[in-house]
Amino acid sequence: MSRDTGKRKLGDNAQFMRLFGSAPWLKLRETKHYRAKVFQSGNSLAVRIPAGTKLKAGMEMELTVEDGEFLSLEPVERPKRKFNIAKVAGSATNLEFIKDEDRVFEPRPLLGEGDSGKK
């Protein structure tokens, strides 16, 4: 149960957690509330973020301001690392090309064409 409201949360349900336990993208996000103070830093306003968060100094964040007073911060996605093929080129020396006779497949109906396989 939630301490704040006394109501049961979905994450407290053991069956729910067992059902979604193997699908981490469906799990509820852990939410913590902190009290922070706004202060002046040069010509800008700043918010001191408590050390208990997983944020690191220097992280780039996107700030959303709603109605001039509600703030929301989201990490900006870092660019994907590029794969350097030069580092692995030539390392798999025992590979062989696929023979032409191994590339032939038996024809089969595609989805939406002909018999759908339902009887």
For residue 115, the model assigns a pLDDT of 58
Tens digits of per-residue pLDDT, 32-73? 888 888 899 999 988 888 888 888 888 888 889 888 888 888
Where do the domains of the chain lie? Answer: 1-55
CA angle 95, 100, 106 (to 5 degrees): 120
What is the mean predicted confidence (pLDDT) over 19-24? 60
Ranges of beta strands (E only) in 1-119 are 38-41, 44-47, 61-66, 70-75
Q: Is 2 a residue whose pLDDT tops 50?
A: no
Going from the C-alpha of 91 to that of each of 86, 96, 119, the distances in angstroms are: 10, 13, 50
